[in-house]
Structure 1
Amino acid sequence: MPLDPRAQRLLSMVSAAASDGRERPSAEQRRQSLAKLMQFSRNDVGPVTTRDGRCYGPVGALHYRMYTPGSIGELDGQDAEALLPGFVYFHGGGLVAGSIETHDKVAAALAAASGCRLLSFDYRLAPEHRCPAAAEDALAAIEFVVRHGSLLGIDSERVVIGGDSAGATLAAFLCQYAAAVGGPGIAAQCLICPVLDFSEPWPSREMFGAGYLLDRATWEADLADYLPADVRLDEPVISPLCNPVPVGLPPAVIHTAEFDPMRDEGNAYATRLKDAGVTVAHVCHDGMVHNFHALGAFLPQAKPALELIGRQLRSLLQIPALR
């Protein structure tokens, strides 16, 4: 399909607001740019209630925001303190930008759609904290939720790990890690516009590397900020697609976008998991660009995509469907 006209208008607006040069952005420029873009996020899926908290990671406090679907009691008669499936969510932003706040509405929409208590975590960002800091924090977050599920109102046997863009990199890697070492137990993974392989020039990265929201100058700047010199581009922590599929990997919900530079690696990962016998629900969204799911104020396709993700997770976790 051709690029969606509304997506094209969005790209034209972003291009008009950008500087003329194609120099690599600084980390601060990257953070400001993503924060502005994420102002166009919406949660028109359903009501949630929120509570902020913290746990302790390798070097100090990790902050999270927990989203509880406001309609959950109406669906299955449970009260607000009942044990629900959990969803540990990591925001995108190239491991350099993004936060709980930038992805607040996306996290709320995913909680409402999935019926899970969703915990969105902040993690250490580069260049202040290089690889593997983000992965270490993400692992600590998962272990916290699984270990203390009952205190959080979460069924520790039904915990999803997910994220979008670079947050999906963390989720995919940690699912592989958990399967390889025998825990923590993860019920499902949810990867939205995932970044999965920096080791080779995928065709979609070549075709859509400029002018399609996420450009080469940005991801190269993020990678330079995040990776120490001694980490290879095919290391699973940055390129999970390069890792052999371990036995025991959880079922996956994977959503990619037709005009996303990262499309091919996401599609390839879905195929690789299926070939290895993993249950996979994969959708490549026609006419859409990277991060489309988070731009509902411009793109009406965002809401049905988030609702579909919710239905797919509900099916995997045996949560009653929304009425």
Structure 2
Amino acid sequence: MTLHPAIADVLSTLPAPPDSLDPAVLRAIEESQVAPIDERLPLHTVEDTSAHTRVGEVPIRIYTPVEADAFGLLVYFHGGAFFLGSLDTHDHVARNLAVETGLKVISVGYRRAPEAKFPAGLDDCDAVVRWVVELGESLGWDGDTLAIAGDSSGGTFVAAVAATAHDEGFDRITHQVLFYPSLDLDFDVDRYDSLRENAEGYGVETAGLTPFNAFYFDSGADPADPRVSPIKRGDLTGLPPALIVTAEFDPMRDEGELYGARLNEAGVKATVSRYAGANHGFVQNFSWISEFHRAFEETAEFLTRPGE
């Protein structure tokens, strides 16, 4: 299949990437594209607050889809190559997750590189998940579903948090959802066919992976560390059931699909779903296209599937 024509049209209008990456400039560009509040998907309530965690105060945004006495919970980690993305830039993703799943969504405003050193952002995500359990009753948690989800680098955090929780005997996470995750930050182009097949022309390019992740590496993240590259974890047994959504025209497609295969080999129920015609970032950037909005619906189905 070819790249979806609507995506191709948008990519054709994008300027060439800058010669040097300035986090402040790139963040400002992202924030300038956030829709006004009155144009966002309406929910019962949306609340900005902080989680009082073992690592300090972590900004969070809580999305309650409807009025009810109790909810399953979904903790969401936004993407952005560990230095971009925010509660605002991914607000529409969290809203769609809340509406389609019916869960209360807690989006995490974790610390980002280069200002924060590794593993600050990962620690924030892990700590908020623990805080959610501690404060479950006050959050209206039904005590049942506790899912974690993330896109791109947020998917990296999902895999790492799930693994850390398992290692520490924290068994409350029921599901993990990874949208086109970055799971192997060793960007040798010979490691995966998709790094060569989708190297140029699809928005995120293979040659840009190292410079875009350089802020994270410079903050102390080692690509050989399984917390940084979760696919390097040797033992995947005992992890929560997983939904891994990949994009046909994503350089990182194959590492996500390999991770799903390895989870299944380890006895973990893992569903890998490749979206034809899609590129990296499609859940954030192109979910207004009906066939790509399907990713939210598939997430809802996964979270309610018997036996998951």
What is the TM-score of this pair, normalised by structure 1? 0.86
Partner of 2:297: 307
The answer (yes or no) to whether the contact 1:24–1:220 under 8 Å persists in 2 is: no
What is the rounded CA distance, in whole Å, between the counterparts of 2:307 and 2:293 in structure 1?
A: 21
Would you say 1:258 and 2:256 are equivalent positions? no
The answer (yes or no) to whether the contact 2:113–2:219 under 8 Å persists in 1 is: no
**Offset of 1:299 from its aligned partner?**
3.2
Structure 1 285/266 Cα, relative in aligned 2: closer, same or farther at 3 Å?
Answer: same
1:226 to 216, 221, 224: 216
The answer (yes or no) to whether the contact 1:208–1:259 under 8 Å persists in 2 is: yes
Q: Which piece of structure 1 moves more, 151-160 or 229-238?
A: 229-238
Letter aligned with residue 159 of structure 2 = A
Matched residue SS, 2:113: coil
**Offset of 1:47 from its aligned partner?**
4.1
The answer (yes or no) to whether the contact 1:142–1:184 under 8 Å persists in 2 is: no
Partner of 2:84: 97
RMSD across aligned C-alpha pairs, in angstroms? 2.4
The answer (yes or no) to whether the contact 2:248–2:276 under 8 Å persists in 1 is: yes
Partner of 2:154: 167
1:64 to 55, 60, 65: 60
**Offset of 1:231 from its aligned partner?**
4.5
The answer (yes or no) to whether the contact 1:130–1:227 under 8 Å persists in 2 is: no
Partner of 1:29: 25
Identity, in percent, stands at 33
Matched residue SS, 1:250: coil
Gaps of 5+ in 2: none
Would you say 1:134 and 2:121 are equivalent positions? yes
Letter aligned with residue 290 of structure 1 = H
What is the rounded CA distance, in whole Å, between the counterparts of 1:53 and 1:222 in structure 2?
A: 30
**Offset of 1:283 from its aligned partner?**
0.7
The answer (yes or no) to whether the contact 2:3–2:277 under 8 Å persists in 1 is: yes
Partner of 1:119: 106
The answer (yes or no) to whether the contact 2:75–2:107 under 8 Å persists in 1 is: yes
Matched residue SS, 2:290: coil
What is the rounded CA distance, in whole Å, between the counterparts of 1:256 and 1:286 in structure 2?
A: 9
The answer (yes or no) to whether the contact 1:115–1:314 under 8 Å persists in 2 is: no
**Offset of 1:24 from its aligned partner?**
4.0
What is the rounded CA distance, in whole Å, between the counterparts of 1:188 and 1:91 in structure 2?
A: 17
What is the rounded CA distance, in whole Å, between the counterparts of 1:119 and 1:225 in structure 2?
A: 26
Letter aligned with residue 49 of structure 1 = T
Matched residue SS, 2:62: strand
Deviations 1:102-125 (A, max 9, x none): 111110101111111110010000
Letter aligned with residue 242 of structure 2 = A
Partner of 1:282: 272
What is the rounded CA distance, in whole Å, between the counterparts of 1:219 and 1:34 in structure 2?
A: 18
**Offset of 1:162 from its aligned partner?**
1.0
The answer (yes or no) to whether the contact 1:253–1:313 under 8 Å persists in 2 is: no
The answer (yes or no) to whether the contact 1:55–1:61 under 8 Å persists in 2 is: yes
What is the rounded CA distance, in whole Å, between the counterparts of 1:297 and 1:194 in structure 2?
A: 17
What is the rounded CA distance, in whole Å, between the counterparts of 2:85 and 2:241 in structure 1?
A: 27
Would you say 1:209 and 2:199 are equivalent positions? yes
What is the rounded CA distance, in whole Å, between the counterparts of 1:181 and 1:317 in structure 2?
A: 24
Partner of 1:109: 96
Q: With CA pairs under 8 Å and 6+ residues apart, which has the higher RCO, 1 or 2?
A: 1
Would you say 1:52 and 2:48 are equivalent positions? yes
Partner of 2:6: 6
Structure 1 217/28 Cα, relative in aligned 2: closer, same or farther at 3 Å?
Answer: farther
Q: How does 1:192-203 map to 2 (within 5 A)?
A: 192-199=179-186, 200-201=188-189, 202-203=192-193
Structure 1 34/211 Cα, relative in aligned 2: closer, same or farther at 3 Å?
Answer: farther
**Offset of 1:133 from its aligned partner?**
0.7
Letter aligned with residue 188 of structure 1 = H
**Offset of 1:155 from its aligned partner?**
2.7
The answer (yes or no) to whether the contact 1:92–1:98 under 8 Å persists in 2 is: yes
Matched residue SS, 2:28: helix
What is the rounded CA distance, in whole Å, between the counterparts of 1:304 and 1:43 in structure 2?
A: 19
**Offset of 1:11 from its aligned partner?**
1.2
**Offset of 1:64 from its aligned partner?**
0.8
The answer (yes or no) to whether the contact 1:43–1:109 under 8 Å persists in 2 is: no
Deviations 1:162-181 (A, max 9, x none): 10010010011110111122
What is the TM-score of this pair, normalised by structure 2? 0.90
The answer (yes or no) to whether the contact 1:179–1:246 under 8 Å persists in 2 is: no
What is the rounded CA distance, in whole Å, between the counterparts of 1:160 and 1:317 in structure 2?
A: 14
What is the rounded CA distance, in whole Å, between the counterparts of 2:265 and 2:206 in structure 1?
A: 30
Structure 1 164/230 Cα, relative in aligned 2: closer, same or farther at 3 Å?
Answer: closer
Partner of 2:136: 149
Structure 1 297/282 Cα, relative in aligned 2: closer, same or farther at 3 Å?
Answer: closer
What is the rounded CA distance, in whole Å, between the counterparts of 1:84 and 1:316 in structure 2?
A: 18
